[in-house]
Amino acid sequence: MTTSVRVPTHRWAKKDNDLATILEPGQIEAAATSPPFLHLPPQNLFALRALRLERLAEGHPLADYLRLVAGLCNVQQQLMDDPPAAAVPDPQRIRLCLEHGLPPFAADSLVREDAWLAYLQGLLQHYQPPPQPAVENAVATLREASVGQLKAWAIALVSGQFALLPAALVPFLGAALQVAWSHWLLSTKDLTLKPGNSLNQCPACGSPAMAGVIRHRGKYNGLRYLVCSLCACEWHVVRVKCVYCEQSKGLQYVSLDSDRHAADKAPLRAETCPGCHSYLKQLYLECDAEAEALSADLSSLILDMRLEQEGFVRPAPNLLLAPGGD
């Protein structure tokens, strides 16, 4: 799917990391107790994403794409509310993983099995593609593909090898994988997870983070949680630290927004690291309480373009968009 987009003019702002500010608003309260490690997504996550995407699509240069993803999110919510029967991982495996401190829904192994395929079939059954040849062809390709081919594409997607599958298939395949893993996460009772091998690794499925969220309410006030690109699990990581190389020196916060916000009040900012030249988008809910990670990411691709021009690399995937595609 190819879209020609005229990039609008935005204000580009940076804010240096001020290490003299030891505690930011909300962190004093949060520091009084041990921060909760997990913040699980709500059961209506995909419905919320769909509503947010529809709102963000108004007047946006990528409006058609955002509305297409909103439609996929609505189907994802249908599958969350009425999941395929018996499409669950082996309970004994989950128990053993938890006992040994491993991600219980490890994507790199479960994607090679059959349980998630029922969610893809359900998504293809419920999704009504718009009358666009590229979308219709992508859906038809997935419907006609063999199980072996579907697994090969899915393995490539969850491992970040986007070049190994057609870009037009990514949103649909990614949507099916997301709803499968999110449902498994939320349907597992008394889940106790341990930190992954790296700060940006999801403790539930081992996938990389898509973005960060600075929360603003209750015991989560002022705390940063990373949002999994696959299952949407959120886990706590201290602020003012690169989640890739773990250094704190010289971090900058970059925003690309309209004149409605001051640089330090933008709801979405990228944390850039001069050490490893990576960046991570972060949402500040005190500036926009309704912000949501996936929709905010897809609606701010102009920020990615600018950071790429400045030499920064984005390690964080979005499973509904192939890098370089649209």
pLDDT digits (tens, 9 = 90+) for 193-217: 999 889 999 999 999 999 999 999 8
pLDDT attached to residue 22: 46
Q: Which residues contact 188 (CB under 8 A, 6 or more apart)?
A: 94, 104
Model's pTM, two decimal places? 0.88
pLDDT attached to residue 21: 39
Q: What is the DSSP letter of 201?
A: B
Length of the chain: 326
pLDDT attached to residue 86: 73
Q: Are 285 and 198 in contact (CB under 8 A)?
A: no
Domains in the chain (CATH in brackets) are 11-41+194-309 (3.90.1670.10), 45-187 (3.90.1670.10)
pLDDT attached to residue 52: 98
pLDDT tens per residue across all 326 residues of the chain: 433 333 333 334 444 443 333 445 445 444 556 899 999 999 999 999 999 999 999 999 999 999 999 999 999 999 999 999 877 888 898 989 988 889 999 999 999 999 999 999 999 999 999 999 999 999 999 999 999 999 999 999 999 999 999 999 999 999 999 999 999 999 998 888 999 889 999 999 999 999 999 999 889 999 999 999 999 999 999 999 999 999 999 999 999 765 466 667 899 999 999 999 999 999 999 999 999 999 999 999 999 999 999 999 999 999 999 986 44
Task: Give Cα separations from 85 to 67, 75, 76, 185, 205 (angstroms).
Answer: 29, 17, 15, 16, 21
pLDDT attached to residue 32: 53
Torsion of CA 67, 78, 181, 318, to 10 degrees: 0
Q: One-letter amino acid identity for 7? A: V
Q: Which residues contact 317 (CB under 8 A, 6 or more apart)?
A: 160, 162, 208, 210, 229
pLDDT attached to residue 37: 95
What phi and psi, each to the nearest 5 degrees, are found at residue 230?
-105, -65
Q: Minimal CA–CA distance to 240: which of 16, 87, 36? A: 16
